[in-house]
């Protein structure tokens, strides 16, 4: 397994005592999408309170931030020295590298637009004719990039991303590979183009082609054994569309594989509420697909897929499809609303859906499709509305726990027995979500140390964010009891988050909590006595 999937510690490179820290190189910290950083030694359930903890400063960026920021510790930046670096991508097609420990201008910024030359981000109204639906404003870099650290002592590496632009009336999506230290190209950018044989209604001459205008690149990117994996859904289910997975050689950006979820039917988008695929230790890649046609051979709407990369491109190794996939399609009850989570140290996969249920699958035998859904190891109905951004997993002081906060429910914690979830939560919070997207979760802790675990969540404030924008609030809970410790509305004049960006989990690392807002800011929270407020 390649090193750039893992949280890892890097010893301080400078005499100013930059402590050994971890990096967050991929969405939700790791290849399993656990949403858990177990190397947080500063913040805990005692010091996260309104007196000691709050907003330190904000980074201004051009554009809303729909991608989770990423973090590289102790990076040697030529001309700037050694820094912990925060990488932020915006819907106005800009990427920033900031010093993660203090406010100020970026260390570097890269702009993929050129208004004078007719290159701009894509206005969402060009696609949906509406600016008050799931996306508001422009569509530029929407998904979370992924970072690769190169071996050796140089500290160098690359950040991979997909930028979308409108160029003289045409729509273009490009894959970029940029240097971590300066934002310059490490390989020529590649325009996303793909086609497969198919008999779908929109096929032309027997070929279904990727549509750069309609393809919504929301799921985060991942790297698997030297291969960059990217996936797409649709905007607002506007037909015709298909789900796509396309792979590229990470070194050269040469396209290596193309998979269309529904080449002979329709739909099958991969959106996963902004969650990335899970990747197992043997390189198996797991996706959940949404509404779409299914035949179990070439078309895999409403399914959990296991794919592998190889010399022949992408191959479906296994799948799970519920027996009532037709009914799910009719009711727009996507199976693929949460994205998968792999329980570390096991072969078990946790998924969720818009019906408000979680189900556990065996990665070694996903189960196909049966009349009784016997392929599922466990199904647990939460009855709390749709599960959108999905769970977080923490192997904590009293054993492994799965956290969930559904759309119209309270945050809940379920014990993991080693092969299933206990049917009743052992802890339940008192803060209710009143609509989409529910709680978007992260966990921080100092390993299994008692009192160190904090469950962090962003949630809409005052109304649902299902369509259009809504205010957001950041919450912190004791991960052992779900007692609320703090929220950003306790002292709003100091700590208010601003307009929520759906599906973006808090990034908790190095004693700070980084939370994007729609308002062209990334808010930074931490201990108020830490001296991080702009020195």
35-68 pLDDT per residue, tens = 999 999 999 999 999 999 999 999 999 999 999 9
User: Beta 454-460 vs 440-444: how paired, if at all?
Assistant: antiparallel
Q: pLDDT tens across 343-360, in order? A: 999 999 999 999 999 999
Q: Is pLDDT at 529 greater than 90 in this prediction?
A: no
* Contact (Cβ atoms closer than 8 angstroms) between residue 455 and residue 441: yes
Q: pLDDT tens across 452-465, in order? A: 999 999 999 999 99
pLDDT of residue 411: 98
Q: Is pLDDT at 84 greater than 60 in this prediction?
A: yes
pTM equals 0.95
Q: Is pLDDT at 201 greater than 50 in this prediction?
A: yes
Q: In which band, very low, low, confident or very high, does the pLDDT at 13 lie, cut at 50, 70 and 90? A: very low
Q: pLDDT tens across 283-313, in order? A: 999 999 999 999 999 999 999 999 999 888 8
Which of 351, 261, 333 lies closest to 297, judged by CA?
261
Count of CB atoms within 10 A of residue 65's CB? Answer: 27
Q: Read off the tokens for 216.
A: 């919504």
pLDDT of residue 114: 97
pLDDT of residue 156: 87
Which of 56, 145, 44, 95 lies closest to 515, judged by CA?
56
Strand partners, 415: 401
Q: Is pLDDT at 373 greater than 80 in this prediction?
A: yes
pLDDT of residue 10: 28
Q: In which band, very low, low, confident or very high, does the pLDDT at 21 lie, cut at 50, 70 and 90? A: confident
The stretch 479-498 carries a mean pLDDT of: 98
* Contact (Cβ atoms closer than 8 angstroms) between residue 29 and residue 8: no
Q: Is pLDDT at 9 greater than 80 in this prediction?
A: no
pLDDT of residue 532: 46
Q: Is pLDDT at 235 greater than 50 in this prediction?
A: yes
pLDDT of residue 301: 97
Q: In which band, very low, low, confident or very high, does the pLDDT at 151 lie, cut at 50, 70 and 90? A: confident
Which of 200, 205, 269, 193 lies closest to 231, judged by CA?
269
Q: Is pLDDT at 443 greater than 50 in this prediction?
A: yes
Q: pLDDT tens across 240-286, in order? A: 999 999 999 999 999 999 999 999 999 999 999 999 999 999 999 99
Q: Is pLDDT at 30 greater than 60 in this prediction?
A: yes
pLDDT of residue 14: 31
| More reliable by pLDDT, 110 or 532 | 110
| Percent of the chain's residues with pLDDT above 90 | 91
pLDDT of residue 297: 97
Average pLDDT, the chain: 93
Contacts of 417 (CB under 8 A, 6+ apart): none
Which of 181, 190, 210, 165 lies closest to 251, judged by CA?
190
Q: In which band, very low, low, confident or very high, does the pLDDT at 533 lie, cut at 50, 70 and 90? A: very low
The stretch 93-109 carries a mean pLDDT of: 97
- At residue 294, the 3 state secondary structure works out as strand
pLDDT of residue 305: 98
Q: Is pLDDT at 495 greater than 80 in this prediction?
A: yes
pLDDT of residue 154: 57
pLDDT of residue 1: 40
């Amino acid at each position: 397994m390649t090193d750039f999937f893992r949280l890892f510690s890097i010893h301080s490179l400078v005499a100013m005592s930059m402590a050994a820290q971890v990096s967050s190189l991929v969405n939700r910290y790791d290849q399993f999408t656990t949403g858990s950083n177990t190397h947080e030694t500063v913040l805990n359930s005692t010091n996260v309170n309104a007196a000691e903890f709050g907003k330190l400063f904000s980074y201004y960026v051009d554009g809303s931030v729909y991608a989770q920021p990423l973090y590289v510790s102790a990076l040697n930046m030529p001309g700037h020295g050694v820094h912990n670096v925060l990488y932020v991508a915006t819907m106005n097609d800009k990427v920033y590298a900031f010093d993660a420990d203090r406010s100020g201008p970026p260390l570097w910024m890269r702009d993929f637009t050129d208004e004078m030359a007719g290159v701009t981000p894509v206005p969402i109204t060009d696609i949906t004719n509406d600016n008050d639906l799931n996306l508001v404003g422009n569509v530029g870099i929407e998904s979370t990039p992924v970072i690769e650290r190169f071996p050796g002592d140089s500290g160098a590496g690359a950040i991979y991303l997909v930028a979308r632009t409108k160029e003289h009336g045409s729509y273009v999506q490009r894959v970029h590979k940029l240097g971590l230290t300066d934002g310059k190209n490490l390989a020529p950018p590649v325009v996303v183009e793909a086609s497969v044989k198919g008999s779908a209604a929109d096929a032309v001459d027997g070929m279904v082609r990727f549509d750069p205008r309609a393809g919504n690149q929301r799921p985060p990117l991942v790297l698997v054994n030297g291969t960059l994996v990217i996936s797409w859904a649709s905007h607002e289910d506007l037909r015709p569309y298909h789900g796509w997975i396309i792979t590229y050689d990470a070194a050269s950006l040469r396209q290596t594989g193309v998979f269309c979820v529904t080449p002979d039917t329709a739909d099958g988008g991969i959106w996963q509420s902004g969650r990335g695929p899970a990747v197992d230790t043997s390189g198996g890649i797991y996706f959940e697909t949404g509404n779409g046609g299914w035949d179990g051979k070439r078309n895999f709407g409403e399914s959990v897929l296991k794919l592998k990369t190889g010399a022949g491109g992408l191959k479906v190794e296994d799948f799970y499809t519920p027996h009532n996939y037709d009914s799910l399609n009719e009711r727009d009850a996507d199976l693929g609303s949460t994205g998968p989570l792999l329980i570390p140290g096991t072969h078990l996969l946790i998924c969720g859906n818009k019906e408000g249920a979680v189900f556990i699958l065996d990665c070694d035998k996903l189960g196909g499709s049966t009349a009784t859904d016997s392929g599922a190891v466990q199904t647990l109905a939460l009855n709390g509305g749709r599960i959108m951004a999905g769970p977080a997993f923490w192997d904590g002081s009293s054993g492994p726990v799965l956290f969930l906060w559904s759309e119209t429910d309270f945050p809940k914690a379920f014990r993991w027995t080693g092969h299933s979830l206990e049917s009743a939560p052992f802890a339940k919070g008192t803060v209710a979500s009143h609509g989409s997207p529910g709680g978007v979760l992260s966990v921080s802790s100092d390993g299994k140390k008692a009192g160190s675990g904090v469950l962090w969540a962003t949630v809409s404030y005052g109304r649902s964010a299902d369509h259009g924008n809504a205010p957001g609030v950041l919450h912190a809970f004791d991960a052992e009891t779900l007692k609320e410790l703090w929220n950003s509305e306790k002292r709003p004049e100091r700590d208010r988050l601003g307009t929520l960006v759906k599906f973006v989990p808090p990034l908790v690392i190095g004693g700070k909590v980084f939370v994007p807002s729609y308002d062209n800011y990334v808010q930074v929270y931490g201990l108020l006595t830490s001296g991080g407020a702009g020195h």
